[in-house]
Amino acid sequence: MLLDLSEEHKEHLAFLPQVDSAVVAEFGRIAVEFLRRGSNPKIYEGAARKLSVSSDTVQHGVEGLIHLLTESSKLMISELDFQDSIFVLGFSEELNKLLLQLYLDNRKEIRTILSELAPDLPSYHSLEWRLDVQLASRSLRQQMKPSVTIKLHLNQNGDHNTQVLQTDPATLLHLVQQLEQALEEMKTNHCRRVVRNIK
């Protein structure tokens, strides 16, 4: 699978051939450090002074490298696919090898960092439901007002959480249809590819 690089991303990476390979390697170290600890504008300013360029140019170069490494690591693309993806950028053979080595050295760590950044969402534990029907009231003797009460038990970080929902049967039926439609869509080839690439 090849990476689809946007024009903006290509512009950010276009700065890399203008600098020495040691500087590109340092940018790679800064990119991984950025993923670990977050952005540090002082690093960009210091590198910009040494290279006699604006700090925005350095920042865009590092951010382009971050995007290249994170997307490649997320998709776990092979060495050959990575080389083919960066080949379209028109870099020298030496720079391509340096970027490939940077990717191979850091992809496991980047995947670990990305998995730690992923949100921990609640998961389903159990469900209780009750159907209530109001047949009459003081003001209306002949009425039929059904409602469904759902008690949803969720797990998150080992904690149990409970949500109580109440709706009418028509809305519940619509919700069920939408969920069934989503499940059917998950069986399509496109969705399978997307899910496979996320994992």
Q: The whole model's pTM is what? A: 0.59
Q: What is the pLDDT of residues 2-32, one digit of tens each?
A: 777 778 877 877 777 877 778 888 888 888 8
pLDDT tens digit sequence for 66-116 = 888 888 888 888 888 888 887 877 788 888 888 888 888 888 888 888 887
Per the CB < 8 A criterion, the answer to whether 72 and 61 are in contact is no
H/E stretch holding 111 reads helix 93-117
Residue 175 belongs to what domain range? 170-198
Q: Are 105 and 163 within one domain?
A: no
Number of structural domains found in the chain: 3
Residues 129 and 64 in one domain: no
